[in-house]
Protein backbone atom coordinates (compact mmCIF):
# COMPACT_ATOMS: atom_id res chain seq x y z
CA UNK A 1 0.00 0.00 0.00
CA UNK A 2 1.51 3.34 -1.12
CA UNK A 3 4.98 1.72 -1.35
CA UNK A 4 6.26 3.96 -4.14
CA UNK A 5 4.76 7.15 -2.66
CA UNK A 6 6.09 6.26 0.79
CA UNK A 7 9.62 5.51 -0.45
CA UNK A 8 9.84 8.74 -2.47
CA UNK A 9 8.57 11.02 0.32
CA UNK A 10 10.84 9.30 2.85
CA UNK A 11 13.73 9.76 0.41
CA UNK A 12 13.09 13.53 0.37
CA UNK A 13 13.27 13.72 4.18
CA UNK A 14 16.33 11.47 4.31
CA UNK A 15 18.16 14.04 2.14
CA UNK A 16 17.06 16.87 4.43
CA UNK A 17 18.13 14.99 7.57
CA UNK A 18 21.51 14.43 5.98
CA UNK A 19 22.12 18.17 5.79
CA UNK A 20 21.88 18.71 9.54
CA UNK A 21 21.26 22.45 9.44
CA UNK A 22 18.33 23.47 7.23
CA UNK A 23 17.93 26.82 5.52
CA UNK A 24 14.57 28.11 4.30
CA UNK A 25 15.85 27.43 0.77
CA UNK A 26 16.47 23.77 1.71
CA UNK A 27 12.91 23.48 3.01
CA UNK A 28 11.44 25.02 -0.15
CA UNK A 29 13.51 22.67 -2.30
CA UNK A 30 12.31 19.69 -0.24
CA UNK A 31 8.68 20.75 -0.55
CA UNK A 32 9.06 21.11 -4.32
CA UNK A 33 10.17 17.47 -4.34
CA UNK A 34 7.17 16.48 -2.20
CA UNK A 35 4.90 18.32 -4.67
CA UNK A 36 6.35 16.35 -7.59
CA UNK A 37 5.92 13.06 -5.70
CA UNK A 38 2.28 13.80 -4.83
CA UNK A 39 1.39 14.77 -8.40
CA UNK A 40 3.10 11.63 -9.71
CA UNK A 41 0.93 9.67 -7.25
CA UNK A 42 -2.14 11.16 -8.99
CA UNK A 43 -3.16 13.38 -6.08
CA UNK A 44 -5.55 16.18 -7.04
CA UNK A 45 -3.58 19.25 -8.25
CA UNK A 46 -5.57 21.84 -6.25
CA UNK A 47 -5.36 19.76 -3.06
CA UNK A 48 -1.61 19.32 -3.52
CA UNK A 49 -1.12 23.08 -3.89
CA UNK A 50 -3.20 23.87 -0.80
CA UNK A 51 -1.43 21.14 1.20
CA UNK A 52 2.02 22.52 0.40
CA UNK A 53 0.94 26.11 1.14
CA UNK A 54 -0.16 25.02 4.63
CA UNK A 55 3.06 23.07 5.23
CA UNK A 56 5.24 25.95 4.04
CA UNK A 57 3.38 28.43 6.24
CA UNK A 58 3.86 26.21 9.33
CA UNK A 59 7.49 25.49 8.44
CA UNK A 60 8.54 29.16 8.65
CA UNK A 61 11.25 29.46 11.28
CA UNK A 62 11.62 25.69 11.73
CA UNK A 63 15.36 25.98 10.96
CA UNK A 64 15.81 28.23 14.01
CA UNK A 65 14.54 25.64 16.52
CA UNK A 66 17.41 24.05 18.40
CA UNK A 67 15.62 21.54 20.67
CA UNK A 68 14.34 19.33 17.82
CA UNK A 69 16.13 18.59 14.55
CA UNK A 70 14.60 20.80 11.81
CA UNK A 71 14.01 17.83 9.48
CA UNK A 72 12.08 16.04 12.25
CA UNK A 73 10.01 19.18 12.83
CA UNK A 74 9.19 19.26 9.13
CA UNK A 75 8.21 15.56 9.16
CA UNK A 76 5.82 16.29 12.06
CA UNK A 77 4.23 19.19 10.13
CA UNK A 78 3.84 17.06 6.99
CA UNK A 79 2.37 14.22 9.08
CA UNK A 80 -0.24 16.53 10.61
CA UNK A 81 -1.19 17.99 7.22
CA UNK A 82 -1.36 14.55 5.58
CA UNK A 83 -3.67 13.47 8.40
CA UNK A 84 -5.91 16.49 7.71
CA UNK A 85 -5.83 15.72 3.98
CA UNK A 86 -6.91 12.10 4.63
CA UNK A 87 -9.85 13.11 6.79
CA UNK A 88 -8.47 14.40 10.12
CA UNK A 89 -10.03 11.73 12.34
CA UNK A 90 -11.46 8.21 12.15
CA UNK A 91 -15.15 8.15 11.25
CA UNK A 92 -16.85 4.91 12.21
CA UNK A 93 -20.15 3.51 11.02
CA UNK A 94 -23.10 5.58 12.27
CA UNK A 95 -25.37 3.13 14.07
CA UNK A 96 -29.04 3.94 14.50
CA UNK A 97 -30.43 4.19 18.04
CA UNK A 98 -33.43 2.22 16.77
CA UNK A 99 -32.21 -0.92 14.99
CA UNK A 100 -31.73 -2.09 12.39
CA UNK A 101 -29.16 0.33 11.04
CA UNK A 102 -29.58 0.39 7.24
CA UNK A 103 -26.35 0.60 5.22
CA UNK A 104 -26.74 1.17 1.48
CA UNK A 105 -23.72 0.07 -0.57
CA UNK A 106 -23.30 1.81 -3.94
CA UNK A 107 -20.64 1.84 -6.65
CA UNK A 108 -19.71 0.82 -10.17
CA UNK A 109 -19.37 -2.75 -11.39
CA UNK A 110 -15.92 -4.16 -10.71
CA UNK A 111 -15.24 -2.04 -7.62
CA UNK A 112 -15.72 -5.04 -5.31
CA UNK A 113 -19.09 -3.91 -3.91
CA UNK A 114 -20.63 -7.35 -3.30
CA UNK A 115 -17.46 -8.79 -1.78
CA UNK A 116 -17.05 -5.69 0.40
CA UNK A 117 -20.67 -5.98 1.56
CA UNK A 118 -19.84 -9.50 2.75
CA UNK A 119 -16.64 -8.36 4.47
CA UNK A 120 -18.47 -5.55 6.26
CA UNK A 121 -21.21 -7.96 7.38
CA UNK A 122 -18.59 -10.36 8.71
CA UNK A 123 -16.85 -7.54 10.59
CA UNK A 124 -20.08 -6.31 12.18
CA UNK A 125 -21.01 -9.86 13.14
CA UNK A 126 -17.61 -10.32 14.85
CA UNK A 127 -18.33 -7.11 16.80
CA UNK A 128 -21.51 -8.66 18.17
CA UNK A 129 -23.96 -7.01 15.76
CA UNK A 130 -26.24 -9.53 13.99
CA UNK A 131 -26.27 -8.43 10.35
CA UNK A 132 -28.37 -9.31 7.29
CA UNK A 133 -27.43 -8.86 3.64
CA UNK A 134 -30.05 -7.88 1.07
CA UNK A 135 -29.50 -8.84 -2.58
CA UNK A 136 -30.66 -5.65 -4.33
CA UNK A 137 -28.79 -6.19 -7.60
CA UNK A 138 -31.37 -7.76 -9.94
CA UNK A 139 -29.48 -7.06 -13.18
CA UNK A 140 -26.02 -8.59 -13.02
CA UNK A 141 -26.06 -12.31 -13.82
CA UNK A 142 -25.35 -14.45 -10.76
CA UNK A 143 -25.18 -11.39 -8.42
CA UNK A 144 -27.74 -12.97 -6.06
CA UNK A 145 -25.93 -16.33 -6.20
CA UNK A 146 -22.62 -14.61 -5.36
CA UNK A 147 -24.11 -12.86 -2.32
CA UNK A 148 -25.83 -16.03 -1.08
CA UNK A 149 -22.58 -17.99 -1.40
CA UNK A 150 -20.75 -15.28 0.54
CA UNK A 151 -23.46 -15.28 3.21
CA UNK A 152 -23.19 -19.05 3.63
CA UNK A 153 -19.39 -18.87 3.92
CA UNK A 154 -19.55 -16.07 6.50
CA UNK A 155 -22.59 -17.26 8.44
CA UNK A 156 -24.58 -14.15 7.48
CA UNK A 157 -28.27 -14.45 6.47
CA UNK A 158 -29.18 -13.13 3.01
CA UNK A 159 -32.57 -11.85 1.90
CA UNK A 160 -33.18 -12.43 -1.82
CA UNK A 161 -36.22 -12.53 -4.09
CA UNK A 162 -35.88 -13.94 -7.60
CA UNK A 163 -39.58 -13.45 -8.43
CA UNK A 164 -39.45 -9.67 -8.91
CA UNK A 165 -37.27 -6.94 -10.39
CA UNK A 166 -38.81 -4.33 -8.05
CA UNK A 167 -35.74 -3.33 -6.04
CA UNK A 168 -37.64 -1.09 -3.60
CA UNK A 169 -39.98 -3.99 -2.80
CA UNK A 170 -37.02 -6.35 -2.24
CA UNK A 171 -35.23 -3.88 0.02
CA UNK A 172 -38.32 -3.12 2.12
CA UNK A 173 -39.03 -6.83 2.56
CA UNK A 174 -35.39 -7.44 3.59
CA UNK A 175 -35.55 -4.71 6.23
CA UNK A 176 -38.85 -6.08 7.62
CA UNK A 177 -37.30 -9.54 7.78
CA UNK A 178 -34.34 -8.05 9.70
CA UNK A 179 -36.71 -6.35 12.17
CA UNK A 180 -38.48 -9.64 12.86
CA UNK A 181 -35.14 -11.39 13.41
CA UNK A 182 -33.94 -8.49 15.61
CA UNK A 183 -30.87 -7.90 13.44
CA UNK A 184 -28.81 -4.85 14.35
CA UNK A 185 -27.66 -4.01 10.81
CA UNK A 186 -28.98 -4.49 7.27
CA UNK A 187 -26.59 -4.09 4.32
CA UNK A 188 -28.14 -3.38 0.91
CA UNK A 189 -25.99 -4.65 -1.97
CA UNK A 190 -27.32 -2.46 -4.80
CA UNK A 191 -26.71 -2.75 -8.54
CA UNK A 192 -23.75 -1.10 -10.23
CA UNK A 193 -23.04 -0.22 -13.85
CA UNK A 194 -19.89 0.00 -15.94
CA UNK A 195 -20.24 3.78 -15.70
CA UNK A 196 -22.48 6.31 -13.96
CA UNK A 197 -25.80 6.63 -15.83
CA UNK A 198 -29.15 8.28 -15.15
CA UNK A 199 -31.10 5.02 -14.94
CA UNK A 200 -28.86 3.62 -12.20
CA UNK A 201 -28.96 6.86 -10.21
CA UNK A 202 -32.75 7.10 -10.47
CA UNK A 203 -33.08 3.61 -9.02
CA UNK A 204 -30.65 4.36 -6.18
CA UNK A 205 -32.52 7.60 -5.39
CA UNK A 206 -35.80 5.61 -5.26
CA UNK A 207 -34.24 3.16 -2.79
CA UNK A 208 -32.87 6.02 -0.69
CA UNK A 209 -36.23 7.80 -0.58
CA UNK A 210 -38.09 4.58 0.26
CA UNK A 211 -35.95 3.36 3.20
CA UNK A 212 -33.94 6.42 4.36
CA UNK A 213 -30.64 4.56 4.97
CA UNK A 214 -28.47 5.57 7.91
CA UNK A 215 -25.33 5.22 5.76
CA UNK A 216 -24.76 5.41 2.01
CA UNK A 217 -21.27 4.04 1.43
CA UNK A 218 -19.55 4.32 -1.93
CA UNK A 219 -17.31 1.35 -2.73
CA UNK A 220 -14.53 2.60 -5.01
CA UNK A 221 -11.48 0.91 -6.53
CA UNK A 222 -8.45 2.48 -4.81
CA UNK A 223 -6.21 1.62 -7.76
CA UNK A 224 -8.07 3.93 -10.17
CA UNK A 225 -6.66 7.17 -8.70
CA UNK A 226 -8.45 10.33 -9.81
CA UNK A 227 -11.14 8.24 -11.56
CA UNK A 228 -12.24 7.09 -8.09
CA UNK A 229 -12.45 10.74 -7.01
CA UNK A 230 -14.58 11.68 -10.03
CA UNK A 231 -16.86 8.69 -9.38
CA UNK A 232 -17.18 9.76 -5.72
CA UNK A 233 -18.15 13.26 -6.84
CA UNK A 234 -20.83 11.84 -9.17
CA UNK A 235 -22.40 9.57 -6.54
CA UNK A 236 -22.19 12.27 -3.87
CA UNK A 237 -23.96 14.81 -6.08
CA UNK A 238 -26.81 12.41 -6.86
CA UNK A 239 -27.19 10.63 -3.52
CA UNK A 240 -25.34 12.52 -0.82
CA UNK A 241 -23.04 9.64 0.20
CA UNK A 242 -22.01 9.46 3.87
CA UNK A 243 -18.67 7.75 3.40
CA UNK A 244 -16.30 5.77 1.20
CA UNK A 245 -14.76 2.30 1.26
CA UNK A 246 -11.62 2.03 -0.88
CA UNK A 247 -10.92 -1.48 -2.16
CA UNK A 248 -7.77 -3.16 -3.55
CA UNK A 249 -5.51 -1.06 -1.31
CA UNK A 250 -3.16 -4.02 -0.94
CA UNK A 251 -2.24 -3.66 -4.63
CA UNK A 252 0.02 -1.08 -6.26
CA UNK A 253 -2.34 1.83 -5.58
CA UNK A 254 -0.42 5.06 -6.10
CA UNK A 255 -2.33 6.82 -3.34
CA UNK A 256 -4.11 9.48 -5.40
CA UNK A 257 -7.62 8.30 -4.48
CA UNK A 258 -7.02 8.02 -0.73
CA UNK A 259 -5.24 11.39 -0.58
CA UNK A 260 -7.86 13.20 -2.67
CA UNK A 261 -11.31 11.79 -1.92
CA UNK A 262 -11.86 13.51 1.43
CA UNK A 263 -10.49 16.85 0.22
CA UNK A 264 -12.72 16.85 -2.87
CA UNK A 265 -15.96 15.40 -1.42
CA UNK A 266 -15.54 16.10 2.33
CA UNK A 267 -16.83 12.55 2.84
CA UNK A 268 -14.70 10.31 5.08
CA UNK A 269 -13.01 7.09 4.06
CA UNK A 270 -14.50 4.66 6.60
CA UNK A 271 -12.85 1.37 5.61
CA UNK A 272 -10.17 0.07 3.25
CA UNK A 273 -10.02 -3.35 1.62
CA UNK A 274 -6.53 -4.85 2.01
CA UNK A 275 -6.87 -8.33 0.55
CA UNK A 276 -9.20 -11.04 -0.66
CA UNK A 277 -9.84 -12.77 2.67
CA UNK A 278 -13.09 -12.14 4.56
CA UNK A 279 -11.25 -10.37 7.39
CA UNK A 280 -9.27 -8.10 5.03
CA UNK A 281 -11.32 -4.98 5.69
CA UNK A 282 -9.70 -2.40 7.99
CA UNK A 283 -11.12 0.68 9.66
CA UNK A 284 -9.49 3.76 8.18
CA UNK A 285 -7.48 5.94 10.57
CA UNK A 286 -6.13 9.10 8.82
CA UNK A 287 -3.35 9.63 11.38
CA UNK A 288 -2.15 6.03 11.19
CA UNK A 289 -2.22 6.07 7.38
CA UNK A 290 -0.17 9.27 7.38
CA UNK A 291 2.32 7.47 9.64
CA UNK A 292 2.53 4.55 7.22
CA UNK A 293 3.13 6.87 4.26
CA UNK A 294 5.97 8.61 6.14
CA UNK A 295 7.36 5.22 7.26
CA UNK A 296 6.73 6.09 10.90
CA UNK A 297 4.99 2.73 11.30
CA UNK A 298 1.52 1.81 12.52
CA UNK A 299 2.18 -0.12 15.70
CA UNK A 300 -1.30 0.61 17.11
CA UNK A 301 -3.01 -1.23 14.23
CA UNK A 302 -0.47 -4.05 14.57
CA UNK A 303 -1.31 -4.43 18.29
CA UNK A 304 -5.04 -4.37 17.50
CA UNK A 305 -4.56 -7.07 14.87
CA UNK A 306 -2.63 -9.17 17.39
CA UNK A 307 -5.36 -8.74 20.02
CA UNK A 308 -8.04 -9.82 17.52
CA UNK A 309 -6.14 -12.73 16.00
CA UNK A 310 -4.07 -14.26 18.78
CA UNK A 311 -5.12 -16.60 21.53
CA UNK A 312 -3.99 -14.67 24.62
CA UNK A 313 -4.30 -17.66 26.97
CA UNK A 314 -2.23 -19.80 24.59
CA UNK A 315 0.42 -17.07 24.25
CA UNK A 316 0.75 -16.67 28.05
CA UNK A 317 0.97 -20.44 28.51
CA UNK A 318 3.69 -20.61 25.87
CA UNK A 319 5.65 -17.71 27.39
CA UNK A 320 5.53 -19.30 30.86
CA UNK A 321 6.70 -22.65 29.49
CA UNK A 322 9.55 -21.12 27.45
CA UNK A 323 10.77 -19.03 30.41
CA UNK A 324 10.86 -22.11 32.61
CA UNK A 325 12.10 -24.83 30.25
CA UNK A 326 13.54 -23.02 27.24
CA UNK A 327 12.39 -23.09 23.61
CA UNK A 328 11.87 -26.30 21.65
CA UNK A 329 10.66 -26.83 18.10
CA UNK A 330 7.08 -27.57 19.22
CA UNK A 331 6.97 -24.15 20.94
CA UNK A 332 8.46 -22.63 17.81
CA UNK A 333 5.70 -24.21 15.66
CA UNK A 334 3.00 -22.92 18.05
CA UNK A 335 4.43 -19.38 17.94
CA UNK A 336 4.69 -19.52 14.16
CA UNK A 337 1.02 -20.51 13.82
CA UNK A 338 0.06 -17.58 16.09
CA UNK A 339 2.04 -15.24 13.84
CA UNK A 340 0.34 -16.56 10.71
CA UNK A 341 -3.02 -15.36 12.10
CA UNK A 342 -1.81 -11.77 11.69
CA UNK A 343 -1.75 -12.15 7.92
CA UNK A 344 1.11 -12.03 5.38
CA UNK A 345 4.45 -11.32 7.09
CA UNK A 346 5.24 -8.52 4.62
CA UNK A 347 2.09 -6.65 5.68
CA UNK A 348 2.94 -7.08 9.36
CA UNK A 349 6.52 -5.85 8.95
CA UNK A 350 5.38 -2.76 7.03
CA UNK A 351 3.63 -1.57 10.20
CA UNK A 352 6.96 -1.31 12.02
CA UNK A 353 8.67 2.13 12.03
CA UNK A 354 11.39 2.57 9.41
CA UNK A 355 10.53 -0.55 7.39
CA UNK A 356 10.07 0.19 3.69
CA UNK A 357 9.39 -1.75 0.50
CA UNK A 358 13.07 -1.68 -0.52
CA UNK A 359 14.16 -3.28 2.75
CA UNK A 360 11.52 -5.99 2.42
CA UNK A 361 12.62 -6.70 -1.15
CA UNK A 362 16.24 -7.04 -0.01
CA UNK A 363 15.13 -9.34 2.81
CA UNK A 364 13.75 -11.65 0.10
CA UNK A 365 10.60 -12.59 2.02
CA UNK A 366 9.03 -15.72 0.62
CA UNK A 367 5.53 -16.54 1.93
CA UNK A 368 6.01 -20.20 0.89
CA UNK A 369 8.99 -20.51 3.23
CA UNK A 370 6.74 -20.44 6.31
CA UNK A 371 4.79 -23.41 4.93
CA UNK A 372 8.02 -25.25 4.17
CA UNK A 373 9.29 -24.73 7.72
CA UNK A 374 5.95 -25.93 9.11
CA UNK A 375 6.09 -29.06 6.94
CA UNK A 376 9.61 -29.86 8.19
CA UNK A 377 8.69 -29.45 11.87
CA UNK A 378 5.47 -31.48 11.46
CA UNK A 379 7.50 -34.33 9.91
CA UNK A 380 9.46 -34.68 13.17
CA UNK A 381 8.38 -36.89 16.04
CA UNK A 382 7.34 -35.25 19.34
CA UNK A 383 10.62 -36.38 20.86
CA UNK A 384 12.63 -34.79 18.03
CA UNK A 385 10.78 -31.48 18.39
CA UNK A 386 11.45 -31.51 22.13
CA UNK A 387 15.14 -32.38 21.74
CA UNK A 388 16.48 -31.46 18.26
CA UNK A 389 19.99 -32.61 19.28
CA UNK A 390 18.86 -36.22 18.79
CA UNK A 391 18.26 -35.61 15.06
CA UNK A 392 21.12 -37.45 13.34
CA UNK A 393 21.81 -38.01 9.64
CA UNK A 394 19.25 -40.77 9.08
CA UNK A 395 16.55 -38.85 10.96
CA UNK A 396 17.28 -35.76 8.86
CA UNK A 397 16.85 -37.78 5.67
CA UNK A 398 13.53 -39.18 6.96
CA UNK A 399 12.28 -35.69 7.92
CA UNK A 400 13.29 -34.29 4.51
CA UNK A 401 11.44 -37.09 2.71
CA UNK A 402 8.35 -36.74 4.91
CA UNK A 403 8.15 -32.97 4.41
CA UNK A 404 8.92 -32.98 0.70
CA UNK A 405 11.89 -30.67 1.31
CA UNK A 406 15.65 -31.20 0.91
CA UNK A 407 18.07 -32.35 3.60
CA UNK A 408 19.86 -29.01 3.12
CA UNK A 409 16.70 -27.14 4.15
CA UNK A 410 16.29 -29.37 7.22
CA UNK A 411 19.92 -28.70 8.20
CA UNK A 412 19.48 -24.95 7.68
CA UNK A 413 16.35 -24.86 9.87
CA UNK A 414 18.07 -26.77 12.69
CA UNK A 415 21.08 -24.46 12.48
CA UNK A 416 18.88 -21.35 12.58
CA UNK A 417 16.91 -22.79 15.48
CA UNK A 418 20.14 -23.33 17.47
CA UNK A 419 21.11 -19.71 16.79
CA UNK A 420 17.69 -18.62 18.00
CA UNK A 421 18.00 -20.62 21.22
CA UNK A 422 21.38 -19.00 21.94
CA UNK A 423 19.98 -15.54 21.21
CA UNK A 424 17.04 -16.10 23.56
CA UNK A 425 19.28 -17.32 26.37
CA UNK A 426 21.29 -14.11 26.10
CA UNK A 427 18.18 -11.90 25.96
CA UNK A 428 17.33 -10.28 29.26
CA UNK A 429 14.23 -11.86 30.76
CA UNK A 430 14.32 -14.73 28.23
CA UNK A 431 11.30 -16.27 26.59
CA UNK A 432 10.71 -13.56 23.99
CA UNK A 433 9.36 -15.07 20.84
CA UNK A 434 11.14 -14.21 17.63
CA UNK A 435 11.98 -15.59 14.21
CA UNK A 436 15.47 -16.86 13.39
CA UNK A 437 17.59 -14.88 10.93
CA UNK A 438 17.10 -15.94 7.31
CA UNK A 439 13.94 -17.95 8.10
CA UNK A 440 12.09 -16.54 5.10
CA UNK A 441 15.04 -16.67 2.67
CA UNK A 442 15.57 -19.36 0.10
CA UNK A 443 19.02 -20.62 -0.82
* 3-class secondary-structure state, position 188: strand
CATH superfamily of 3-86: SRP54, nucleotide-binding domain (1.20.120.140)
For the chain (length 443 residues), average pLDDT per consecutive 10? 77 76 79 89 90 87 58 82 90 92 93 93 94 93 91 94 94 96 96 84 94 95 85 92 91 76 92 88 89 66 57 67 74 72 60 52 59 88 89 93 92 83 59 43 43
Q: Is residue 114 a contact partner of residue 147, using CB atoms and an 8 Å limit? A: yes
Alpha carbon distance 372, 380 (integer Å) = 13
Predicted structure pTM score? 0.69
Contact at 8 Å (CB) between 101 and 185?
Answer: yes
Q: Are 430 and 424 in contact (CB under 8 A)?
A: yes
Residue 140 to residue 165: CA distance in whole angstroms? 12
The DSSP output letter for 215 is E
Say what the pLDDT of residue 197 is.
82
Say which residues have a Cβ less than 8 Å from residue 134's Cβ, sequence separation at least 6: 158, 159, 160, 170, 171, 174, 175, 186, 187, 188, 189
- What is the structure's pLDDT at 342? 63
* DSSP string covering 130-152: -EEEEEE--SSTTHHHHHHHHHH
Alpha-carbon span 297 to 243, nearest angstrom: 25
Query: What was the pLDDT predicted at 374?
Result: 85
| Homologous superfamily of domain range 305-426 | Signal recognition particle, SRP54 subunit, M-domain (1.10.260.30)
- pLDDT at residue number 345: 58
> CB of 329 within 8 A of CB of 390?
no
- Domain layout of the chain by residue ranges: 3-86, 101-285, 305-426
At the top level of CATH, the class of 101-285 is: alpha beta
Distance in angstroms (rounded) separating the CA atoms of residues 179 and 96: 13
Query: Is 369 in contact with 442 (CB distance < 8 Å)?
Result: yes
Q: How far is CA 327 from CA 378, 388, 425, 431, in A?
A: 16, 11, 9, 8
Q: Kindly provide the b/e burial profile for residues 133-160, where b requires at least 16 CB atoms within 10 angstroms of the residue's own CB.
A: bbbbbbeeeebbebbbebbeebebbbbb
Residue among 91, 308, 339, 96 at smallest CA distance from 212:
96
Residue environment code for 14-25, b if the CB has 16+ CB neighbours within 10 A, otherwise e:
eebeeeeebeee
Q: How far apart are CA 108 and CA 386, in angstroms?
A: 55
Q: Answer for the pair 273, 218: CB distance below 8 angstroms, yes or no.
A: no
What pLDDT shows up at residue 225? 79
Cα Rg, the chain, nearest whole Å: 26
Q: Which pLDDT score is estimated for 184? A: 96
Rounded to the nearest 5°, which phi and psi values hold at 295?
55, 35
- 157 and 181 Cβ atoms separated by less than 8 Å: yes
User: Checking DSSP bridges between strand 269-273 and strand 281-283, what pairing results, if any?
Assistant: antiparallel
DSSP run (H or E) holding 189: strand 185-190
- Cα–Cα distances (Å) from 420 to 116, 117, 316, 433, 436, in that order, read 41, 44, 20, 9, 5
Amino acid sequence: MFDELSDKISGVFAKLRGRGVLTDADIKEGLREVRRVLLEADVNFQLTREFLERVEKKAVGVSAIRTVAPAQQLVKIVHDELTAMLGERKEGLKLSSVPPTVVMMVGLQGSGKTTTSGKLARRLLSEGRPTRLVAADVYRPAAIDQLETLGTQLGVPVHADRTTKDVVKIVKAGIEEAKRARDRVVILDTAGRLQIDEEMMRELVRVKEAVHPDEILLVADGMTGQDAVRIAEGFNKALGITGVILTKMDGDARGGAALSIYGVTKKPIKYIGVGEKAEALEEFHPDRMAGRILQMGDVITLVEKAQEAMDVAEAKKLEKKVRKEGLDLQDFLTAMKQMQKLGPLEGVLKMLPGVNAKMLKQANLDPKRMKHVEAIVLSMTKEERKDPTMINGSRRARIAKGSGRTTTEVNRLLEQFRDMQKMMKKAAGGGRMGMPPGLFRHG
